[in-house]
A and B are shown apart, each in its own frame.
Chain A
Amino acid sequence: MPDTKPATLTINGRELELDVPPFYPLAVVLREELGLTGTKTGCFEGRCGACTVIVDGETVVACIYPVGLAYGKSVLTVESLAEPTGPLSSLQQNFLEKGAVQCGVCTPGMLMTLTNLLERTPQPSEDEVRDALSGNLCRCTGYRKIIEATLATAEAAR
Chain B
Amino acid sequence: MARAKDAYVPELIHPASVDEAAAELARLGDEGEPIAGATWVMLGPLHKRPTKMHYVAVAGLAELRALELNGATATIGAAVTHSQLADGIDGEGPLAALAHAAVGTPRAIANVATVAGNICARPYPAADIVAALLALDAQVDARIGDDASSVDLGEFMRGAPTPGSLVTRVRATAIGQAARSCYERLTIRASGEEAVASVALAVDVDGQTVREARVVFGAVEAQARRCREAEDALIGDALSADSAAAAGRVAAEELDVAEGPDAPVDYKRRVLPGLMKRAVARLAAGGEDA
State the A residues within 8 Å of B (CB). Answer: 2-4, 6, 21-25, 28, 32, 41, 44-47, 49, 52, 58-61, 63-66, 68-69, 71, 113, 131-132, 134-136
Distance, CA A59 to CA B37, complexed state (A): 12
Chain B interface residue count, CB cutoff 8 Å, equals: 38
**Contact B13–A64 (Cβ < 8 Å):** no
20 contacts between A and B (CB under 8 A): A23-B12, A25-B4, A25-B42, A41-B1, A44-B1, A58-B111, A58-B112, A59-B111, A60-B108, A60-B112, A63-B4, A66-B8, A66-B12, A66-B38, A68-B12, A68-B14, A68-B57, A69-B35, A69-B59, A113-B108
**Residues from chain A with Cβ under 8 Å of B111 in the complex:** 58-60
Interface residues of B in 117-159 (CB under 8 A from A): none
**Contact B24–A2 (Cβ < 8 Å):** yes
- Known contacts A46-B39, A65-B38, A66-B8; is A71 also within 8 Å of B108 by CB? no
Q: Which 3 A-B pairs have the closest CB atoms?
A: A135-B106, A23-B8, A22-B12
**Residues from chain B with Cβ under 8 Å of A45 in the complex:** 43, 46
**Contact B112–A65 (Cβ < 8 Å):** yes
**Interface 0/1 of B48-74, CB less than 8 Å to A:** 000000001101000000000000000
Which residue of the partner chain B has the closest CB to A53? B108
**Contact A28–B4 (Cβ < 8 Å):** yes
B192 interfacial by beta-carbon distance below 8 Å: yes
Which residue of the partner chain B has the closest CB to A52? B108
5 A-B pairs besides A46-B108, A69-B57 with CB distance below 8 A are A3-B13, A25-B42, A60-B112, A64-B43, A113-B108
**Residues from chain B with Cβ under 8 Å of A58 in the complex:** 83, 111-112
Distance, CA A28 to CA B8, complexed state (A): 12
Pick the contact of A64 from B21, B39, B107 — CB < 8 Å? B39
**Contact B106–A25 (Cβ < 8 Å):** no
**Residues from chain A with Cβ under 8 Å of B11 in the complex:** 4, 22
**Residues from chain A with Cβ under 8 Å of B5 in the complex:** 24-25, 28, 32
**Contact A46–B191 (Cβ < 8 Å):** no
**Contact B109–A135 (Cβ < 8 Å):** yes
- Chain B nearest CB from A17 CB (Å) reads 16
**Residues from chain A with Cβ under 8 Å of B8 in the complex:** 21, 23-25, 66
**Contact B12–A4 (Cβ < 8 Å):** yes
**Residues from chain B with Cβ under 8 Å of A22 in the complex:** 10-12
- Known contacts A46-B43, A69-B57, A69-B59; is A61 also within 8 Å of B9 by CB? no
- Known contacts A46-B39, A64-B39; is A59 also within 8 Å of B108 by CB? yes
B206 interfacial by beta-carbon distance below 8 Å: no
Which residue of the partner chain A has the closest CB to B10? A23
